[in-house]
Amino acid sequence: MDDNGKQFEYFVRGINFDDNPDYNHRDKLEKDILAVLAKQTQQQETWRIIMKSPITKLAAAAVIIIAVALSIIFLNKSATPAYGITDLPELFEQARVMHIQGWQYFAGHRMPNGEKIQPVEIDNWIDLENGRSRYTGTGLSIDKDGVRVTIGETILAGQYEMYLNHNERDVTFFKISDYQRMLNMHYKLNLMGSQIFGDIEQLENFTRVGEETIDGIEYDIWEGEVVHSVTKYTWRYKYWLLPSTGVLGRLQAWTKVDNEQWELDYEYYRIDRDVDVPEWVFAMDVPEGYALKNTKETATPLELGGGGGCGYGDEQCVLSLKTRISFTMSDGSVILGWCSLDSKSQTPQEEFFEGLEFGGPLPELPVEIYGLRPGGITSDITYVGYHLACTQKAGKLTEWSVYVPDGRVPASVKQFGYDVLYRFNLGEHTPKWRIGYTVDHGILIETTKEFDKWVLGAMAELSDDGKAPEHVTYQNVLKLSNQLHEALSK
C-alpha cells in the first residue's frame, strides 16, 4: 500500500456485495473493497457522493445487515453436542425480515489528541421477501487535517434507491433495475454468514465460556478466534446464544491493532428476525433540513458496474477501462463483462468487434484485458482471455470474455478475486503509467439455472433489446472452457 493508501486506510464491514468478504489483511483492504465497489454501482455512487475530495481514498462501505438472527449453530466437541451444524443457506431462505441494531467502532484509529473515535450507531433492516433494505454506511478518512467520519444511509425499495448523506445533509435518488435489485439481495444473503464468521468450518473450535441473563433471557456465551487461511489475520468473536435452539441474540467482534492489543470493532446488541416492519423504515421521506440534489422524476438510472476500472489521458488519448461484472464457473474459469474506450479515437467502436468468433481472440480495444491473475498472492497462474460475445446499450458496447486458468486455481481467489492484466493497443504510443486493480470472484456458477439467471441476466441488462446473445449458453461456455483448458495444459 502506498503512503496515501496508509493515510486513508478504512476499517468497516462492507454491505455491498461480495459473496466472500474477508477484508482482514490491511495491506489488501483498500484494493479488495474497491473491487467490490466496482461490482456494485449502488455503493460506488454512494461513496462517490460521500468522498468528494480527489485525494481521499475511501476503502469501503456500509456496516452489513447480518442474518445472524437465523439459527446459527455450533458443533460442540462433546459426545452429545449442544448444537449441531445445519444448512445456513436454507436458513437464510427461510428468513423474511431481519433487523440489526448495534455500534460500529474504528478499531486501531484515534483522534489527533489520542482519544478514541466515537462509534456510529447502526440500525439496519432487510426485507428479503420484498427486496427492500435500509442500511447505515460509515467511512473514515485520515489525513494531515485530522480524522473525518462519514455517515450515509441508503434505502432501497421498488425501483428507487434513496441515499442520505448525513454529513452534507442532502439526498440523492437513483433508479434501479429488477436485475440489480435481485443482485443486491443475493450479495447481502451471501455476506451474512461469511462476514460474521469468516470461515464457518472453524466454528467447531469455539468454546462455551459461560452464561449471562439479558432482559430476563438466559444466554450461553461462546468465544473463539477465526484465522484467515491466506493472510493469517485473526478475528475474535463473542456470541450470545439461546441454550435450547442456538439462536443468536447478540455478538461482538474484536480485532488486533498494531500494538497487538484486542479492540472492539463492532457489536450488535439487538438481532430480530421476522418482525413487523414499521412504515417509516422503507419510506423515502426527505428529512427536514436536508437539500434535494434531484427527485425521483429526475433520478439517474444506476449503471451495472459503471464505476469500476481505470483511466488515462494525455495529448494523444483519453482512455477509460471499465469492468461491469464478473462470475466464476465451477471449473475455475472466469466470465467478465468489460468495456474500453479512447474518446479521442476516430475509429467507431463497432469496428473493433467485426469478425470476432466465439472462443476466438479478444477485440483489440484501446485498453485490452488480455488476462487475469489470482489476487492477493504471488502465483504463476495466468487466466487467458477469449471472446464470448458483445452487447450494446445506449451506444455503449460491452465485451464478454471467458478467462481460462493455465494451471491449478488457488482457493484464495474466493476471498481476493483476480488482478487484471491489460495492455494498450495504441500503435507506437505508450501511456506513461498504469493503475493496477482487481475484479472480484463474483457469483459461483454451477448450474444452467444459475447461468441463465445471473450471466444471461447481466448480458440482457446491458443490451438495448433486453436479451442475451443466443449462442451464449451454459453448455456452450462450459464446453469451450474445457477445450481451452486442455489446450493450455499441453
Distances (CA, A) of 485 to 61, 379, 383, 488, 489: 37, 18, 10, 5, 6
Residue 70 pLDDT > 70: no
Which residue, 18, 49, 37, is CA-closest to 323?
Answer: 37
The alpha-carbon radius of gyration of the chain (Å, integer) is 23
Which residue, 341, 322, 304, is CA-closest to 437?
Answer: 322
Q: How far apart are CA 302 and CA 177, in angstroms?
A: 8
Q: How many beta carbons lie within 10 A of that of residue 146, not counting itself?
A: 10
- Tell me what the mean pLDDT of segment 125-153 comes to: 85
| pLDDT tens track for 329-369 | 999 999 999 999 999 998 999 999 999 999 999 999 999 99
| pLDDT tens track for 183-236 | 887 877 666 555 555 555 566 677 888 899 998 999 988 888 877 766 777 888
Joined grid coordinates for residue 97: 425480515
- pLDDT the model gives residue 190: 67
Residue 438 pLDDT > 80: yes
- Tell me what the mean pLDDT of segment 435-455 comes to: 94
Residue 214 or 8, more confident: 214
- pLDDT the model gives residue 321: 92
Q: How far apart are CA 448 and CA 17, in angstroms?
A: 23
Return the bridge partners of 62, or none.
137
Q: Is the dihedral of CA 270, 274, 279, 281 positive or negative?
A: positive
Residue 72 pLDDT > 90: no
Q: What percent of the chain has a predicted confidence (pLDDT) above 90?
A: 46
What letters, b where the CB count within 10 A reaches 16 and e where it falls short, cover 98-129? Answer: bbbebbbbbbbbeeeeeeebebbebebbbbbe
The confidence band for 243, taking pLDDT boundaries of 50, 70 and 90, is confident
What's the pTM value of the predicted model, to 2 decimals? 0.74
In this structure, are residues 403 and 372 in contact, taking their beta carbons and an 8 Å threshold? yes
In this structure, are residues 24 and 198 in contact, taking their beta carbons and an 8 Å threshold? yes
Q: Where are the beta strands (DSSP E) in 228-317?
A: 234-241, 248-256, 262-273, 291-292, 300-301, 309-313
Side chain identity at residue 366, one-letter code = P
What is the greatest pairwise CA distance in the chain?
75
Burial class from Cβ neighbours inside 10 Å (0-12, 13-18, 19+) for residue 232 reads: exposed
Asked if the peptide bond before residue 17 counts as cis, ω within 30 degrees of 0, the response is: yes
Contact partners, residue 120, CB within 8 Å, separation at least 6: 63, 103, 104, 136, 138, 149, 151
| pLDDT tens track for 359-369 | 999 999 999 99
| pLDDT tens track for 80-129 | 334 432 333 344 456 788 888 999 999 888 888 888 899 999 898 989 88
Joined grid coordinates for residue 210: 459461560
Return the bridge partners of 225, or none.
236
Q: Is the dihedral of CA 413, 90, 12, 62 positive or negative?
A: positive
285: alpha, beta or left? (left if phi > 0; alpha if psi -120 to 50): beta
Residue 424 pLDDT > 60: yes
Q: How far apart are CA 37 and CA 32, in angstroms?
A: 9
- pLDDT the model gives residue 194: 56
Side chain identity at residue 440, one-letter code = D
366: alpha, beta or left? (left if phi > 0; alpha if psi -120 to 50): alpha
Distances (CA, A) of 299 to 143, 159, 171, 289: 33, 11, 11, 20
List, in sequence order, the alpha helices (H) in 437-473: 448-450, 456-461
Joined grid coordinates for residue 426: 495504441
- pLDDT the model gives residue 160: 95
- pLDDT the model gives residue 30: 39
**In this structure, what are the phi and psi dihedrals at residue 303, rounded to the nearest 5 degrees?**
-95, 130
In this structure, are residues 488 and 406 in contact, taking their beta carbons and an 8 Å threshold? yes
Which residue, 61, 57, 39, 60, is CA-closest to 322?
Answer: 39
Q: How many beta carbons lie within 10 A of that of residue 311, not counting itself?
A: 13
Which residue, 303, 383, 458, 435, is CA-closest to 34?
Answer: 435
Q: Locate the domains of the chain by residue range.
A: 3-285+291-300, 306-489
| pLDDT tens track for 164-181 | 999 999 999 999 999 998
Q: How far apart are CA 183 and CA 275, in angstroms?
A: 24
- pLDDT the model gives residue 218: 92
